Structure 1
Amino acid sequence: MSLLFGVHGGWAQGAAPPESSGVRAASTDIALTGPDYAVVGVVIAIALGALAFGSVLTREVLAAGQGTVKMREIAQAVQEGASAYLNRQFRTLAVFAVAVFLVLFALPAETLSERIGRSIFFLFGAAFSAVIGYLGMWLSTRANLRVAAASTEDGGREKAMRVAFRTGGVVGMTTIGLGLLGAALVVLVYAGQAPRVLEGFGFGAALLAMFMRVGGGIFTKAADVGADLVGKVEHNIPEDDPRNAATIADNVGDNVGDCAGMAADLFESYAVTLVAALILGTAAFGLQGLLFPLIVPAIGVLTAVIGVYITKARSGESALTAINRSFYISAGISGVLCAIAAVLYLPGSFAGLTGVSDEVRAIDGSPALIALVAVIIGILLAVVILKLTGYFTATEHRPVRDVGESSLTGPATVILTGLSVGFESAVYTALVIGVAVFGAFLLSSTLSVALFAIALAGCGLLTTVGVIVAMDTFGPVSDNAQGIAEMSGEVEGESANILTELDAVGNTTKAITKGIAIATAVLAATALFGSYLDAITAALVGAGQQFLAGDFVVYAPNVLVGVVIGASVVFLFTGLAINAVSRAAGAVVYEVRRQFSANPGIMDGSTRPEYGRVVDICTRDSLRELATPGLLAVLAPIAVGFGLGVGPLAGYLAGAIATGALMAIFLANSGGAWDNSKKLVEDGYHGGKGSDSHEATVIGDTVGDPFKDTAGPAINPLLKVMNLVSVLIAPAVVALSVGDAASPALRIGIAVVATAVIVGAVVLSKRRSTAIAGTSAEQGAVTNGAS
């Protein structure tokens, strides 16, 4: 933070940052003219076109064959369980959304229309996030059946891959369509006031995505861990054996966690990055800075269509190679088109910008060149992370093969090797992200322009989001297709091998998209520092105070305390998420054991397991565990901001971003390496299925499940929720700290209440058992069943 607030401007303590003070006042003077409305209109048309293309792909997916009657029955059970879970989750979150709506309306804003717009578009952001999550679940639970059926037809490999990838294409097009549509509508209605209204839109998207990611992640991994520990390890039966009562819940979890949760996560990444770019763009480039961040992702819509349609595996070619090739081609097209758009739309000098101050007009440099390079940096970042994450998580590369080989000496070495892969990969990925952020930051010697360049790098990365979402959804759809095939017992031979290959590829594509989502989170969170600074500066000016750069230097003890607290919150959030999976998985383990003991006919196939009981357990526990991580994300910045001040809150955000990026990458890549090392052994390496090596990798995969699919991905929305909360409360913190409205007692009171709620939630959470051991009543049920 000392670099951010010192190098780009050389402010002395007591001086106001010249290019940031007055940004909010200046932005309200920006008005759209006829050509500007035309630009926004074209962007809206492209957004609607993305939604229309998604509907065309939907019809194509649903037109595919649905297999046998037994396969359809299994798929129907998964559909019902997933719908029931999300419906209950949305009812729970609706109450929370209404409460946040009222709080947002109560927070200060420059005008009443801003306050109303911010609150209303908070609901829009939350609703869009929910719609995308639900669509991801709804279509995936229907596509998995069709992928399984396609594998049994002529040209099965190509057909199955096409159905799975185009299912992801539907979710991807809907994600970029709704994200772009929401942002464009705000700009169309509010013009210069749009950045403040967009804070609410981004907050709604991020908050709901975090809840869906945490809840869905707990559900899916509780079922997965429980199914593996009892089915594979204790009874030595296949992963998706229909005799395992947790199999339906496991397949349901793939959809509510990986499809619904990740779709909502990537949508909020898209929305929040756009929000950051639009907020900072008005400060750096004026009117052009408000509109250019809409043009870049609009180009991404066009390239996403190309990327989805050209994805096809050639004869003898790996499905992963085909998917990566489509990604590279679409990224390359995006780079060329964005470069053309920057040159044509943006002026060659700052003097040619509209709606900026004289100080901005006097800045040296070319807005077109800065934007062009920044966008290219973002696109290249996505490409590098794809290669880097693929190296650490794909079965054909050394890290996963090393983890697989370590299974020859037992589960302990599998876990140790997987941990080392995760730690090492986190360093390289974080350094790559850091290089991209610093490269964009160096494009200008002016802070506001440098921060906007970082946001534009995020927009460049957004041009690949349509294909990224398709890659991510491909994973759980393929996983579920293999599950349906195995449970039905009606897909064998080459068809089964096709689904196994697609499942392994899906594990890698999921890991890749997690890496790119983390990069987006860091870019968006770093860019939001600029809007946080803007909010503080505007509030100080309004209170007749000056910006004190010395309050933000990292060596100030109070700021350093904020850094430590921010890092600690990431650790606490991660621990809460993993513990939640542990508790829920414990309940699943005891239920599956109870059913095996009470109904001996399950093992010989004469008795059907009670699948619904496990689904109910996962639903109940995941919804119950949502509250504590959610309260921590929202209230921790409030406690730090009101309790310690705006400087320590900046340190808090810096600590959270740095630690969160490393933690999320470590969790995602170690989990992905463990998962694919299991696939490697199941393909016949090191003894194959049923061997001691297989059992060791199953245990490693079980440890990695909550890493890669619960805690790791949930850190992404966590970072953006905390940043947006900080931006929203900054004016109130300043108002209660300085000026005529200062009220230290009220400020400290708010901090104490927020802290008390966090402590209470954590204490209540810790009162529940943290070990995978059932209650005495559960143990008694198992014992009685056995007798």
Structure 2
Amino acid sequence: MSPVAAASEVSLSGADTSIVIVVLCIALVALVMGFMFRREVLAASPGTESMQEIGGAVQEGASAYLGRQFRTLAVFAAVAFVLLLALPADDMMVRVGRSVAFLFGAGFSAAIGWLGMNLATAANMRVAEAARTTGRDDGMRIAFRTGGTVGMATVGLGLLGAAVVVLVYQGDAAKVLEGFGFGAALLAMFMRVGGGIFTKAADVGADLVGKVEAGIPEDDPRNAATIADNVGDNVGDCAGMAADLFESYAVTLVAALILGTAALGSDGGLVFPLVIPAIGVLTAIVGVFITKARAGESGLAAINRSFYISAGIAAVASVVAAFVFLPTELSVTGGFDLGAGDGGGEQVNAAMGAAASVVIGIVLAAFILWLTGYFTGTETKPTNDVARTSLTGPATVILSGIGVGLESAVYTAVTIAAAIFAIFTLGGGSLILSLFYVALAGCGLLTTVGVIVAMDTFGPVSDNAQGIAEMSGDVDGEAAQILTELDAVGNTTKAITKGIAIATAVLAATALFGSYLDAILQALETAGDASGDVLQSFLVFDPRALVGVLIGGAVVFLFSGLAINAVTRAAGAIVFEVRRQFREKPGIMDYSEKPEYARVVDICTRDSLRELATPGLLAIFAPIAVGFGLGVGALAGYLAGAIGTGVLMAVFLANAGGAWDNAKKIVEDGNFGGKGTPAHEATVIGDTVGDPFKDTAGPAINPLLKVMNLVALLIAPAIIGLTYGDGANDVVRWGIAAAAFAVIVTAVVVSKRRDIAIGESDDVPATAVER
């Protein structure tokens, strides 16, 4: 079966069409359930007048930020739309469909981010009121149903987009869905970077000036950065994480459909990748409904129990589906084969392999949940050891947190690598079939995505609820303790979902890596050159591939450094602004004057939107520079280096930051001296170091990996066309590479010229440098 024929010959049978329509209906059910959860949340009491005033300020700031961000990103989307139209495709309908799908992917990603932010900012005051009047169970239910709403929107829109494209384009659906996945990933990356810079600039500034210098509580209304901090929780953790998980969902579906079409053709390759996420929709609904703490049970235990139950149901249902929809006997050939052979190859049980792969993905999610919880939880040894080092100062807190992050990265990376290798052995020597199984493992992991989004959103909602309660002064005693407990649970669930998101990103990136190979081989056949120099350039011994590996790893480091430096600049501006307000308005401390909350929100908004351009341009143009300049083999090495380095860096940053954050909470709970002691100050400093680690640079690596892989997938035919065959043109190819490199250099130089301390120093009075 030739690769080109494989795509064009695949079509939906009558039975397949019925299955896709059922999947489409399930996607609509998810959206309806999300609407019902949303209505339930909004039906709860919004609390006292003071709570509503504070919550309204948070909602207004978050809405203003996202509105400005979307207007900024519309320019990037328009340029990407035009460039996608210019890239080669089989025919004009596919080319146009891919560009339109890009807009839908970007639009869905933005819509889910907006929904997550908007509902979370409405739910936070309702959770605080529930804790004040009806107790923990109602507060926890409202917070989790808020996340459930976003989770249903994530799985519903992702499945809806994929199912519609499959119905319309059938055999060409995978190529059109490349645009859908790219749009989702590009918007998610920008939202992750921008939201992460906003939230951590406000958080770091609030902690350093409020807690350390002024000695006031975290959410004290006298701190001018408190509203911005709460706004940041929503635009970073709610909007950013929701968009991130949506793009993981969309991109994994894209990779599974591309590889399924290549590996199985009409034998389920176009349908089964949709069935697994549809199962996930149904199990997510179950997971959200059954989340309720039993008497004497912690909220975290209840949430974990729901996750494991829904994951177990999904595993059983997926195994059944595999044997229903996939063949038990499939003839495959080894090496760079592109699907089922014409007989004479090794016989493999495709249904068994797919079932095992999905189960491996689900088990991987459960194990990562436990592993991340172990390294970042308040009840476990690693985080308590970090808290104990506060007795000897901030330096040892930072060192111990770095150690936890580095160690946890090894275990997580080895676990993911073991899962990928186990999946590879199921392919019977067929590389494409093995890569399809990796994509199915990602789909299996994402059967839990509805519950994962609910768990993640639970964190910022409960955090904001505690902040609103403290700022309003209307909640005390047992109700305040309930909110403290929910905040601690939410802090752990945020850390856990970051770990799962990283595992998802690696599986999706690996599957896309395989799709990149498929795209190259198809382009080579069209160009009349089936192997030769190109396949040799994939070998790691080839200098081109090795150079690509080094550059790919280096880009991950550069991207992380740019994101952390952006937070440093923006946080510096917030520190000086809050100090200025304390100094120029002495009445703030005795409540006779109100801080200028809006000014801090505006600084965070301005700086975060200004800073997100450079990391985004790096992610898009670095693969273009490597691919057109050094060839498809070097670009393959680049992607491999980025995936390997990216998983280690992302886990290190996320878990080190999570350990520092919870170490601070351990001390604030009265251990090792408690609040106001040198030990507390040491953990606050550790937490401020960890903030951009875990909430800006670390999470942004997830969409970074997928954006770069999708860019490589999209440009592969153009690189081959300009390198081999009748259309070869080295001048054009190198000109494109030089232009891409120039864009990267210009963006980095502009970024480095900004003041590392306070951003736009002209906006801060000269006296602000005096404390």
Q: TM-score under structure 1 normalisation? A: 0.95
Distance 1:281 1:361, change over 3 A: farther
Cα distance in 1 for residues equivalent to 2:613 and 2:144: 34
Query: 2:567 pairs with 548, 560, 581, which one?
Result: 581
Cα distance in 1 for residues equivalent to 2:36 and 2:213: 46
- The answer to whether 1:692 aligns with 2:678 is yes
Cα distance in 2 for residues equivalent to 1:359 and 1:502: 59
Question: Does the Cα contact within 8 Å between 1:195 and 1:278 map onto a contact in 2?
Answer: yes
Query: 1:284 pairs with 263, 266, 282, which one?
Result: 263
Query: 1:599 pairs with 564, 570, 585, which one?
Result: 585
In structure 2, give the amino acid aligned to 1:131. Answer: A
Query: 2:622 pairs with 626, 636, 639, which one?
Result: 636
Question: Does the Cα contact within 8 Å between 2:330 and 2:340 map onto a contact in 1?
Answer: no
The aligned residue for residue 426 of structure 2 is 443
Cα distance in 2 for residues equivalent to 1:783 and 1:633: 36
The aligned residue for residue 186 of structure 1 is 165
Query: 2:239 pairs with 243, 247, 260, which one?
Result: 260
Distance 1:743 1:621, change over 3 A: same
After TM superposition, the structure 1 = structure 2 runs for residues 372-771 of structure 1, keeping only pairs within 5 Å, are 372-444=355-427, 445-548=429-532, 549-771=535-757
| 1:361 Cα deviation after fit | 8.3
Question: Does the Cα contact within 8 Å between 2:195 and 2:235 map onto a contact in 1?
Answer: yes
Distance 1:76 1:423, change over 3 A: same
| 1:778 Cα deviation after fit | 2.6
The aligned residue for residue 58 of structure 1 is 38
The aligned residue for residue 129 of structure 1 is 109
In structure 1, give the amino acid aligned to 2:91. Answer: T
In structure 2, give the amino acid aligned to 1:693. Answer: A
- The answer to whether 1:307 aligns with 2:291 is no
After TM superposition, the structure 1 = structure 2 runs for residues 174-253 of structure 1, keeping only pairs within 5 Å, are 174-253=153-232
Question: Does the Cα contact within 8 Å between 1:350 and 1:361 map onto a contact in 2?
Answer: no
Cα distance in 1 for residues equivalent to 2:342 and 2:114: 47
Cα distance in 2 for residues equivalent to 1:328 and 1:197: 35
Question: Does the Cα contact within 8 Å between 2:256 and 2:436 map onto a contact in 1?
Answer: yes
| 1:691 Cα deviation after fit | 1.2
Cα distance in 1 for residues equivalent to 2:312 and 2:409: 26
In structure 2, give the amino acid aligned to 1:737. Answer: T
Distance 1:357 1:673, change over 3 A: closer
In structure 2, give the amino acid aligned to 1:493. Answer: G
Superposed CA deviations along residues 423-462 of structure 1, whole A, max 9, x for unmatched, are 0000000111111111111101111111101001001001
Cα distance in 2 for residues equivalent to 1:60 and 1:447: 48
Cα distance in 1 for residues equivalent to 2:541 and 2:340: 33
The aligned residue for residue 16 of structure 1 is none
Cα distance in 1 for residues equivalent to 2:374 and 2:318: 28
Superposed CA deviations along residues 276-317 of structure 1, whole A, max 9, x for unmatched, are 000000111112011001000100011001100111111111
| 1:781 Cα deviation after fit | 4.0
What are the ranges of 5 or more consecutive residues in structure 1 without an aligned counterpart?
1-18
Query: 1:339 pairs with 302, 316, 319, which one?
Result: 319
Question: Does the Cα contact within 8 Å between 2:287 and 2:451 map onto a contact in 1?
Answer: yes
| 1:356 Cα deviation after fit | 6.7
The aligned residue for residue 335 of structure 2 is none
Cα distance in 1 for residues equivalent to 2:327 and 2:670: 60
- The answer to whether 1:364 aligns with 2:344 is no
Cα distance in 1 for residues equivalent to 2:724 and 2:485: 62
% identical aligned pairs: 70
Cα distance in 1 for residues equivalent to 2:425 and 2:165: 30
Question: Does the Cα contact within 8 Å between 1:180 and 1:294 map onto a contact in 2?
Answer: yes
Question: Does the Cα contact within 8 Å between 1:281 and 1:290 map onto a contact in 2?
Answer: yes
Question: Does the Cα contact within 8 Å between 1:385 and 1:516 map onto a contact in 2?
Answer: yes
| 1:525 Cα deviation after fit | 0.8
In angstroms, what is the RMSD of aligned CA positions?
1.4
In structure 1, give the amino acid aligned to 2:242. Answer: A
Question: Does the Cα contact within 8 Å between 2:570 and 2:759 map onto a contact in 1?
Answer: no
Cα distance in 2 for residues equivalent to 1:368 and 1:735: 37
Cα distance in 1 for residues equivalent to 2:251 and 2:4: 19
Query: 1:140 pairs with 120, 123, 126, which one?
Result: 120
| 1:692 Cα deviation after fit | 1.2
Cα distance in 1 for residues equivalent to 2:724 and 2:322: 42
In structure 2, give the amino acid aligned to 1:576. Answer: L
Distance 1:357 1:629, change over 3 A: same
Question: Does the Cα contact within 8 Å between 1:590 and 1:774 map onto a contact in 2?
Answer: no
In structure 2, give the amino acid aligned to 1:415. Answer: I
In structure 1, give the amino acid aligned to 2:573. Answer: A
Question: Does the Cα contact within 8 Å between 1:24 and 1:534 map onto a contact in 2?
Answer: no
| 1:552 Cα deviation after fit | 0.6
Question: Does the Cα contact within 8 Å between 1:221 and 1:581 map onto a contact in 2?
Answer: yes
User: Matched residue pairs, number?
Assistant: 762
Cα distance in 2 for residues equivalent to 1:692 and 1:70: 34
In structure 2, give the amino acid aligned to 1:694. Answer: H
Distance 1:448 1:359, change over 3 A: farther
Question: Does the Cα contact within 8 Å between 1:284 and 1:360 map onto a contact in 2?
Answer: no
Question: Does the Cα contact within 8 Å between 1:219 and 1:253 map onto a contact in 2?
Answer: yes
The aligned residue for residue 6 of structure 1 is none
Distance 1:683 1:360, change over 3 A: farther
| 1:266 Cα deviation after fit | 0.3
- The answer to whether 1:296 aligns with 2:272 is no
| 1:318 Cα deviation after fit | 1.1
Query: 1:77 pairs with 35, 57, 68, which one?
Result: 57
In structure 2, give the amino acid aligned to 1:237. Answer: I
| 1:25 Cα deviation after fit | 2.6
Cα distance in 1 for residues equivalent to 2:375 and 2:339: 46
Cα distance in 2 for residues equivalent to 1:170 and 1:281: 30
Cα distance in 2 for residues equivalent to 1:532 and 1:775: 45
| 1:110 Cα deviation after fit | 0.8
Question: Does the Cα contact within 8 Å between 2:263 and 2:340 map onto a contact in 1?
Answer: no
Distance 1:711 1:783, change over 3 A: closer
The aligned residue for residue 91 of structure 2 is 111
The aligned residue for residue 8 of structure 1 is none
What secondary structure, in the 3-state scheme, does the structure 2 residue paired with 1:528 have?
helix
| 1:491 Cα deviation after fit | 0.8
Cα distance in 2 for residues equivalent to 1:317 and 1:360: 58
| 1:249 Cα deviation after fit | 0.4
Distance 1:683 1:481, change over 3 A: same
Report which stretch shifted further, 262-271 or 340-349.
Answer: 340-349
Cα distance in 1 for residues equivalent to 2:58 and 2:419: 42
Cα distance in 2 for residues equivalent to 1:87 and 1:38: 40
What secondary structure, in the 3-state scheme, does the structure 2 residue paired with 1:28 have?
helix
Report which stretch shifted further, 423-432 or 771-780.
Answer: 771-780
